[in-house]
Every structure is written in structure tokens, then in C-alpha cells.
A and B are shown apart, each in its own frame.
Chain A
């Protein structure tokens, strides 16, 4: 009888594995997500030349103004940035959000032309030509967006384009709650 029970072992293993796979599929776990260590920490330094001619350089003074700020890294050569851009335009124009734009590894002319064509929702914009600031911010590519509260603490970090859902479920509540 005891020996018979041993034959249940493979079945048990199968059940365990099936359970794990089902859990992975149902919970919506993303094994490719790399997380962010910045969330909960003060935002890294910002010290970049201005993207738009005539603007003062971009510093982190804006990050500690007491108002929540969104920081968006983008590039004119990046297609997902194109996809999320209307959401930022809406945030800037209709919701009055303070948005800082940083062109990452982008030529100034191209980034400026891109903003001229699609609309410029950025209160302040910088140019991170060599990607050093991106590295300090733990950037893995563009687009990425950070939500920073009034005390300069990073509260959210979106890797990849933000979606309508992110906007409604996370960003707007954050902007309202952090004020």
C-alpha cells in the first residue's frame, strides 16, 4: 500500500507545475518586469541643458516645488513615445499637470521639431544627449515616466509607454492625492 502511494508522486509533481503555470497566467505576472529601485527614494539629480532655445537649463528645482511633477523621458526616434504623447498633451492642457520632458539620446533639432509637430506639454524640457542622466535615473530605454511628489520623492516609475489605464488608475489619482 505504501509503495502504491509512491506512484502518486509524479502526479503530484504534475499538479504542482500545472498550478504554478495557471497562477502565472492568471495573476498577470510579467517575468520581464525589472522593477524600479527608485520608487520611494528621492529623485536623482537633474542638471541638463535646455531643449528649447532660450529656456534656462533644466535643474531639479522644479522637483521640490511642493507640487507633484511628472518626468517623461522621450525621443523623437521612438515609436511608443509617439503613441503615449497625446496622453501627456491631455495631462498638461486639461489637468494642469507639471510635466518635465527629457529628450534622451536625441538630436536637439529633431526633438524640437517632433514637439512642434505633436504639441509640447512640457513645462520644462532638457536634453540628455549622452544618456548619463538617464543612467542616474535607472532608465532602461524610452519612453519611461516618473511620478514625483511635492517633496521630491519618486512615487511611481512606468517603464514603457503610459496607457489610458495608467492615466486614469494611477497618474490622475496621484496628481490629485499628492497636492
Chain B
């Protein structure tokens, strides 16, 4: 029972449309097209709502005009052109691709490309530097290492100290970048 109620409640979480029953066209195919167009047209008084989502007077007029144009036999593109002729590119929720909108369309991908290649380059450079083989120990270094290791073995409780020291003096510890 509770599950049924929850499911029922979920059904009512659909986005509320402002399209009024009186506006809906009798022809379901035309109405479906009107909805597609209505979702892509921006209401001119509410910044970022589509006309289908807006209860503004102008949005109501625009929905009606869309349906009138469709009923008169216009194609979807013609309806968009009709609106752009009156309200400009502003009414299109998806802005057209032209000189004025180049930055809008290409800015983000370009930035991604730039940052991506910079990261890749840096990573490759780091890899190349890391692959250089370490220099073999010289005779003198080897002698000192053996000596230190021998001391460490004789004094197990102090093994920590001298070992650390020897490592540092021999440059065996990874170089600290800071």
C-alpha cells in the first residue's frame, strides 16, 4: 500500500507545464510539435524559462502564435524564424552558431583541449625525467655503505639512526622538491 502511494506521488513530480488546456491543439501530432518548439523557445520576460514552462502573458501569446503557425502549415524552422524575426536570437534557448557566438560554442572545448594538452605534455616530461637510470655507487660510496651497514647490524636498537643518515649522505632518498 505504502509503495503504491509512493509510486503515485512520484507520478506527480513531473515538471509543471504552463500550457493551458484551452491552448492544446486537437491534432496530437501538431501539439507534439508545438511542445517541442515551446521547449526550445525562451520566454522574453523570465530570463531562462521556456515558453512552455512560463505562466507569463507573453509566453501565453507566444504559445498561441506557435500553434497558429503550425496549424497554418509552417515547418518547425519557419516557426522559429517567425519568433526570431520578432524577438531576435534571444528567444532561442539554443543559441545559433555564428560569429557573435563563437566564444560561447567553442570557448569551453578549446579550453579543455588547451588544458588537456598542457597536462599531457607535463605528464610526458615528468615520465621521461623519472626514467633516467640512477648512477651506480662509486667505490668510495660502496665502502662507506658497507661500513655503515656493518655498524647497524652490530647495534640493532640504533639501526634507525645511522641508516637514515647514510641514506641522506649518499643521496639515496628521493630528492625533496620543495
Contacts and interface: CB of A to CB of B under 8 A. Distances in A.
Interface of A: 32, 34-38, 105, 130-132, 134-141
For the residues of A in contact with B, the DSSP-based class is loop
Contacts of A34: 44, 87-88, 90
B58 A141 contact: yes
Contacts of B65: 132, 135
B45 interface: yes
Contacts of A132: 61, 65
Nearest to A142: B57
A102 to B, nearest CB: 14
A37 B87 contact: yes
Nearest to B62: A135
Nearest to A137: B86
B86 A138 contact: yes
25 contacts: A34-B44, A34-B88, A34-B90, A36-B88, A37-B84, A37-B86, A37-B87, A37-B88, A38-B86, A130-B61, A131-B57, A131-B58, A132-B65, A134-B58, A134-B61, A135-B58, A135-B61, A135-B65, A135-B86, A136-B86, A138-B87, A140-B87, A141-B45, A141-B57, A141-B58
B6 interface: no
Interface residues of B, number: 14
Closest 8 pairs between A and B when the two form their complex, measured CB to CB: A37-B88, A138-B86, A140-B44, A131-B61, A34-B90, A140-B45, A135-B61, A138-B87
